[in-house]
């Protein structure tokens, strides 16, 4: 098995997939903790559908390097969603559901009308489940992913305490002089960036799993914010690594395999919680 893996290691696309996969897993799990706690889980889901719609637009316009366009559209939608969240006429969750469903529908419609490809359902399936695209990354995609994910990690570390304060208690943070709106905006933009990155790994349908599972697993066992964040990052990176290696060796779809690994980890952590009653790491 190791020989087989070493053989695959010779191919650059396998190395690219491993690097990008682990980086994305780290970024998405960093945000996952905040998103799950802020009850923002569906913003991730909604934005991934927006990114799907944007990709459809890009492919209709025959833009080969679609990453920048998708990134811009998703960031704009993330900001808009956050704004409508404050608007009382359409509540936050309804706005997310609306944008999510519309962009999914429009995306598929556009691909259906304008697609030059003979294998339309195959294309859609690939975009949704990301089964192939991580194995077709170019060196430019890898560099873009590396730079963006490094930025996400640095921004998160720099604003870690502020993100904690805003997540735990927005009203209090505001009253003590923290610009909570700005940090919510920052979180929305980072989320959008991470989702566009993650589209390449697991596709738009499975992104929520990548964002939510590591955080939920870590929360089963650890009881303070720092340990939960660190644990979910390590867990997510490990699951991504294992998932990619298994999928390369046995030919299973990459995205689904990673999510299966995340689900397994969740079940294990859930059992640990039940058995030990949880423990606190100082």
Partner 1 sequence: MTQIKCKNLYLGYGNNIVVKDLSFSVSAGEYVCVTGSNGSGKSTLIKTILGLKSPISGRVEFCEGFTKNQIGYLPQQTDFQKDFPASVREIVLSGFQGKCGFRPYYNKTEKDFAKQAMSKMNILALSKKCYRELSGGQQQRVLLARALCAAGKMLILDEPVSGLDPVASSEMYNVINDLNKNDRVTIIMISHDIEAVKKYSDKIINL
According to CB under 8 A, which one of 26, 96, 192, 228 is a site residue for partner 1? Answer: 228
The two three-digit tokens of residue 276, written as one number? 């030990």
Nearest CA to 50 out of 102, 92, 93 is that of 102
Q: Build a one-symbol-per-residue string for 109-148: x at contacts with partner 1 by CB under 8 A, - elsewhere.
A: ----------------------------------------
Please report how close the Cβ of residue 176 comes to partner 1 at its closest, in angstroms.
Answer: 3
According to CB under 8 A, which one of 13, 42, 225, 270 is a site residue for partner 1? Answer: 225
The window from 76-84, 89-97, 225-233, 264-272 that contacts partner 1 (CB under 8 A) reads 225-233
Nearer to partner 1, 123 or 170 (CB): 170
**φ, ψ dihedrals at 137, nearest 5°:** -70, 140
Question: What residues between 168 and 197 interact with partner 1 by CB under 8 A?
Answer: 168-169, 171-178
CA distance 230 to 92: 29
Residue 161 found at the interface with partner 1 (CB under 8 A): yes
Residue 226 found at the interface with partner 1 (CB under 8 A): yes
Q: Tell me if 32 sits within 8 A of 209, measured CB to CB.
A: no
Nearest CA to 210 out of 250, 237, 228, 249 is that of 237
Please report how close the Cβ of residue 225 comes to partner 1 at its closest, in angstroms.
Answer: 5
CA distance 89 to 80: 14
Nearer to partner 1, 37 or 135 (CB): 37
Please report how close the Cβ of residue 262 comes to partner 1 at its closest, in angstroms.
Answer: 18
Q: Tell me if 205 sits within 8 A of 129, measured CB to CB.
A: yes
Nearer to partner 1, 251 or 282 (CB): 282
Nearer to partner 1, 61 or 154 (CB): 154
CA distance 273 to 71: 38
Burial readout 43-58 (b: 16 or more C-beta within 10 A, e: otherwise):
bbbbbbbbbbbbbbbb
Residue 42 found at the interface with partner 1 (CB under 8 A): no
Residue 280 found at the interface with partner 1 (CB under 8 A): yes
Estimate to the nearest angstrom the gap between the alpha carbon of 37 and the chain centroid: 16
The answer for residues whose C-beta is within 8 angstroms of residue 39's C-beta and 6 or more apart is none
Residue 39 found at the interface with partner 1 (CB under 8 A): yes
The two three-digit tokens of residue 247, written as one number? 């999928």
**φ, ψ dihedrals at 37, nearest 5°:** -70, -35
Residue 233 found at the interface with partner 1 (CB under 8 A): no
The answer for residues whose C-beta is within 8 angstroms of residue 139's C-beta and 6 or more apart is 12, 16
According to CB under 8 A, which one of 94, 223, 249, 267 is a site residue for partner 1? Answer: 223
Question: How many residues bind to partner 1 according to rule CB under 8 A?
Answer: 30
Nearer to partner 1, 165 or 244 (CB): 165
| Binding stretches for partner 1 (CB under 8 A) | 37-39, 157-162, 164-165, 168-169, 171-178, 219, 222-226, 228, 280, 282
């Amino acid at each position: 098995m190791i020989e087989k893996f070493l053989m695959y290691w010779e191919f650059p696309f396998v190395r690219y997939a491993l690097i990008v996969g682990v980086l994305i897993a780290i970024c998405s799990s960093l945000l996952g903790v905040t998103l799950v706690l802020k009850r923002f889980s569906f913003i991730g889901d909604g934005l991934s559908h927006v990114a799907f719609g944007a990709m459809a637009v890009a492919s209709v316009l025959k833009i080969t390097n679609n990453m920048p366009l998708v990134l811009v559209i998703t960031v704009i939608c993330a900001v808009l969603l956050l704004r409508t969240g404050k608007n009382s006429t359409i509540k936050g969750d309804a706005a997310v559901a609306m944008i999510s469903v519309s962009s999914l529908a429009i995306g598929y419609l556009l691909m259906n009308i304008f697609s030059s490809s003979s294998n339309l359902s195959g294309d859609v399936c690939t975009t949704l489940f990301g089964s192939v695209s991580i194995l077709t990354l170019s060196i430019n995609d890898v560099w873009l992913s590396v730079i963006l994910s490094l930025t996400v990690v640095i921004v998160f570390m720099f604003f870690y305490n502020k993100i904690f304060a805003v997540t735990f208690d927005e009203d209090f943070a505001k009253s003590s002089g923290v610009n909570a709106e700005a940090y919510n905006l920052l979180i929305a933009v980072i989320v959008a960036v991470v989702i566009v990155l993650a589209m390449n790994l697991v596709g738009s349908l499975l992104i929520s799993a990548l964002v939510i599972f590591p955080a939920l697993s870590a929360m089963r066992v650890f009881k303070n914010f720092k340990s939960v964040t660190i644990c979910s990052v390590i867990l997510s990176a490990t699951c991504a690594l294992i998932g990619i290696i298994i999928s390369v060796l046995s030919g299973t779809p990459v995205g689904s395999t990673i999510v299966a690994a995340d689900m397994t980890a969740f079940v294990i952590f859930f059992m640990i919680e039940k058995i030990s009653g949880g423990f606190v790491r100082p």
